[in-house]
Amino acid sequence: MPRMVAPPPSGEFNITLIRPFSGKAINPQTHQPSLLQSPGPPESHIEILGQPNRPAVVRRTNYTSGTATNEKAGDVPKDDVEELMSLVSAVRGFPSHETKDVFGEDARLELTTFDIQWANAEEGGAEGAEGVEGEQREEFARVVQSIEALAREFAKRDAAV
pLDDT in tens, 43-82: 889 999 999 889 999 999 888 776 778 899 999 999 999 9
What pTM was computed for the model?
0.79
What Rg value do the Cα atoms of the chain yield, rounded?
A: 16
Cβ atoms of residues 48 and 58 within 8 Å: yes
Alpha carbons within 13 A on the beta-carbon side of 146: 20
pLDDT reading at 159 higher than 50: yes
Helical pair 134-154 and 78-88, crossing angle rounded to 10 deg: 160
- Is the CATH number of domain 9-158 3.30.428? no
